Structure 1
Amino acid sequence: MAGILDSVNQRTQLVGENRLELLLFKLNGRQRFGINVFKVREVMPCPRLTLLPKQDSFIKGVAHIRGQTISVIDLSKSTGGPAIEQTADSYIIIAEYNRSVQGFLVAGVERIVTLSWADVMPPPEGAGKSSYLTAVTEIDGQMVSILDVEKILNEISPVSTEVSEELIDVSIGEKLGDKLVMIVDDSTVARNQVRRALEPLGINMVLAKNGRDALTQLLAIDETCQSSITEKVALMISDIEMPEMDGYTLTAEVKGNDRMSKMPIILHTSLSGVFNNAMVEKVGAEDFIPKFHPDELAIAVKKWLKIEE
């Protein structure tokens, strides 16, 4: 398993082509799970873990790796399954989400597979609010579950969605009138974080659960506009990683449509890597903001709505 991600920086050409690579792993049992390779820094056999007093019950301990102390989350227990007891035979996936590095304890790691976001579907209807799935796909005739890691992390250490007092300004919404800001994210937790952060600005918002859903909604709204989608939608804030259609492809579709191309787009994602700025320019988005800082988001929204401080 050592070196499985050595070539990760060479894989960036997949981004922007509505494709992704999943690292497949297992928890307790035969069910396969997947995590986007672009969020993974390293995979290694589980090292010796140090227990901390009063640590969250989902945190197995901390690992000291190359001078950095990393919390290791039992990914099985944190999603309602039995704890992974045999750490000596397990692995940790070191990943970066929302500007921080975490280790995820898993029972076993298999391989990396390449597939299209078009083959990745939202979780089945009726999965319920307690579901930790953000998407599913089929590989080798078996269902693979993609976990809503943002939900898991938010339950362990909730993210503040409050903007600073000096940024609260409901007059922004008043100036926008009936115009909408569209929020696109496959994670219910992430959509609600953005919504709550922008509520103090008095903005009317519409939500979409992935790029395909967003494009469908935009095309329907555009049919009610005389000349441009900006008559009704002033700005779009979109995640990048999403089933059916990713944020880069969504942006390219919007910017390639004459009636939608002038709508500003902010890409707002937990994906890390220097390639993001290049991809933002490639697909024509106006801005890129790493998740999640409510003040930075509010400032960017005000900027691209062309509303002065």
Structure 2
Amino acid sequence: MASILDSVNQRTQMVGQNRLELLMFNLAGKQRFGINVFKVREVLQCPKLTAMPQRNPLVRGVAHIRGQAISIIDLSMATGGPAITDIENRFVIISEYNRTVQGFLVGGVDRIMNINWEDVMPPPKGAGRDAYLTAVTEIENELVEIIDVERILADIVPVNSDVSEEVASAEINVAKEDLTILITDDSSVARNQIKRALQSLGINLEVKKNGKEALEYLKEKAKELGGNVHTHVPVMVSDVEMPVMDGYTLTAEVKADPDLRDIHVILHTSLSGVFNQAMVKKVGADDFIAKFHPDELATAVQKWLNTEVTI
């Protein structure tokens, strides 16, 4: 286990080009699951848990780790499976999502695999755990399921997606009727949160599930318009982690295309704790916002829309 912990510590400092470092684990059975290493702070044997009154049934208790009280979520129960037993001999993955730190109780931790996002696909329709999967991939002839953690956290602690009246009423100095904001995110929960936040701006929204879909949409738009797209799609809000093509690669492709490069790209990701700002500059993104604060997101979109006045 020490080698896994060392590997997590080292690899959270890396950002690949359309590549994913996947920490694999199992829950209450043999099926293997994965979580992006960039979201992992550490892996440890399950510490002593303290029961809390009126806690969500998916939360097995609270652990005191390095001076911080952290809720420990049974990831098997959260995805519709049985409770993990013998928890003293199980493991906890400490992760940071959407500006919060939580622990996920898992049955066992396997190893880390470096794979290409092109080999990561959306979950098959009708899969038993489809509601809780954001992607799947095949490793060593075995299907590995990537869980939509944002959905699980939203079930436990619902996120407020409403923009404040003050932000919603802020002036936008461009004609809205011919504009579209492009939203790209593989999580259905995140897509709905973003849509709800940005609908208050009164601008058309186009939603895509991964970077490849978004890039194809923009290139098709360029053909349709016969040139620069940003006058019709001035802002794109994109997740970083997505199957097929991640947000870094999408941004780099957009900024390298003369017909697309003037689009303002906001990277909107749950990779808040270990995010690499140097990578944002490298791919040419215009902004970075950690998920999820509706006022911050709406304000950022308003800012980039208002820059169109000076173009």
1:1-16 to 2 correspondences below 5 Å:
1-2=1-2, 4-8=4-8, 10-11=10-11, 15-16=15-16
Output the CA distance in 2 between the equivalents of 1:253 and 1:178. Answer: 24
CA contact (8 A) 2:42 2:95 kept: yes
Deviates more, 1:29-38 or 1:230-239: 230-239
Question: In the alignment, which residue of structure 2 is the partner of 1:225?
Answer: 225
In the alignment, is the contact (CA less than 8 A) between 1:15 and 1:248 conserved in 2? Answer: no
For 1:190 and 1:129, the matched residues in 2 are separated by 18
Give the corresponding residue for 1:52: 52
Alignment identity in percent?
Answer: 60
Distance 1:253 1:16 in 2: 15
Normalised TM-score (structure 2): 0.94
Partners of 2:147 and 2:220 in 1: CA distance? 30
The Cα of 1:130 is off from its aligned counterpart by: 5.9
Superposed CA deviations along residues 205-225 of structure 1, whole A, max 9, x for unmatched, are: 000000111111111111111
TM value normalised by structure 1: 0.95
The answer for unaligned runs of 5 or more in structure 2 is none
Letter in 2 for 1:271: L
Q: In the aligned structure 1, how far is the partner of 2:10 from the partner of 2:270?
A: 20
CA–CA distance in 2 between the matches of 1:121 and 1:141?
A: 15
Distance across 2 between alignment mates of 1:148 and 1:211:
17
Q: Which residue identity is paired with 2:76?
A: S
Q: 1:171 to 1:177 in 2, by over 3 A?
A: farther
Between the aligned partners of 1:274 and 1:82, the Cα distance in structure 2 is 32
Match of 2:76 in 1: 76
Match of 2:268 in 1: 268
State the superposition RMSD in angstroms: 1.9
Number of matched pairs: 308
Q: Deviations over 1:4-63 (max 9, x none)?
A: 233446436752410011110000111000000000000001011000000000000000
Which stretch of structure 1 is more off in the superposition, 81-90 or 97-106? 81-90
Residue 203 of structure 1 corresponds to which residue in structure 2? Answer: 203
1:1-309 matched pairs, under 5 angstroms: 1-2=1-2, 4-8=4-8, 10-11=10-11, 15-127=15-127, 131-169=131-169, 172=172, 175-273=175-273, 275-306=275-306
> Deviations 1:135-163 (Å, cap 9, x if unpaired)?
00001110000000000000000000011
C-alpha spacing 1:7/1:298, structure 2 compared with 1 (3 Å): same
**Range with bigger deviation, 56-65 or 226-235:** 226-235
1:126 Cα deviation from its structure 2 partner: 3.4
Contact between 1:84 and 1:106, CA under 8 Å: does it hold in 2?
yes
